[in-house]
Structures are given as C-alpha cells and as structure tokens.
Amino acid sequence: MLLFMNGTCDQQVLLPSLTVLDFAGGNIALAGAAALAAVLQRGALSSLQDLILSYNNIDDDGLKALAAPLRKHPNISELHLAQNGIGDEGIAALLAPEEGVLAKLSVLILRETIITDEGCMMIVASIDTMPRLKRIDISYNDTSATARMRVRRRVANIDSGSGGRGGRGGRGGRGGRCGER
C-alpha cells in the first residue's frame, strides 16, 4: 500500500491495478510531490490513469519534481493540478518536449494556479505532443482573454481535426473545452 502522511512516502509496494489516485486537499507540497515522483519513476503505479493533485500546496519546484515521471508514464489521461502555486516554470517543466510527451493526456486542469500568458503560450506550443487533449481548464489565472482564447482555439483544433491532424473528426460535445473566468 502507498501511504502519504505529512508529505512523505512511508511505505511503497506495487499497485499495478490502481487507475485513479486522488490526493486532492492532501497538502503534500514539495516533499510529497518528490516522493510521488520517486514512486512513479519506479513504475509502482503502472496502470495509473487519473492523478488528482488539486489543493496540495504544490509549487513550481513540486511540479518540476513530478514532470519527468509524468511525461514518461504511459497511461496518464487526466492530470488535475488546480489551486496550487504552479506557475510558468512548472508548466515549462511539465511540457518540456525533449524529455517525453503526455501522449494520452485528455484532461489537464490548471484552474486557480499562477500561470500567466507566457504559460498559456507554452501550452499552445505543446499541444501537438498531447494529441488526445480534449479539455483544459485555465480559468481563474492571471491570464489575458487573448491568451485563454488561443489555448481554447488550439484545443478545439485537436478535436476538429485541423492544425495538421487531418481525419481526426469531431468527438462529441466535450471537445475543445477550456475554462473561462
């Protein structure tokens, strides 16, 4: 069993069938993020699909610790990072193209973080590495309407098949959603 207590990983065994890990509100901060990164790096959560880390006091350093293991994880489809102190540095680490991709990511929640227009532009530039992305929530950040619109349009392009993705037609009502204020 994987136990997180006071931001530390006290015990680890393989949990090959765990698909959802919800630490929302757990206040794991940097120490917990680093411990989780080590667990992911070892492959202990090989079937993990949804990782919910909202409301955890994770800052840029915490996301930097998690970034490489998350990018290399084969099954991550939902990543919830809402209401953490994650800014543009953390986003840059998560989306670094030279170190793997988030190929199966379909949902990315960055609501109420501290990303700026620069972070939004990094997201726009990285969309091609996330071909299954259908929903991104960047609401309640210090971003301009223009930056949010660019992200929303780029995500919508994935769903509609434009932007160099011919033949990937619409997928129903969820496609291209992007949080607004």
List CB contacts of 6: < 8 A, sequence separation 6 or more. none
* Contact (Cβ atoms closer than 8 angstroms) between residue 155 and residue 128: no
- Alpha-carbon distance of 82 to 86, in angstroms, equals 9
Q: Do β-strands 3-5 and 177-178 pair in parallel, antiparallel, or remain unpaired?
A: unpaired
pLDDT confidence tier of residue 14, bands split at 50, 70 and 90 = low
CA angle 169, 170, 173 (to 5 degrees): 175
- For residues 11 and 30, the model is more confident at 30
pLDDT of 86 over the 60 cut: yes
The pTM assigned to this predicted structure is 0.81
CA angle 22, 28, 31 (to 5 degrees): 130
pLDDT of 59 over the 60 cut: yes
pLDDT of 10 over the 60 cut: no
- What domains appear along the chain, each with residue ranges and CATH number? 3-164 (3.80.10.10)
Q: Three-class SS of residue 137?
A: strand
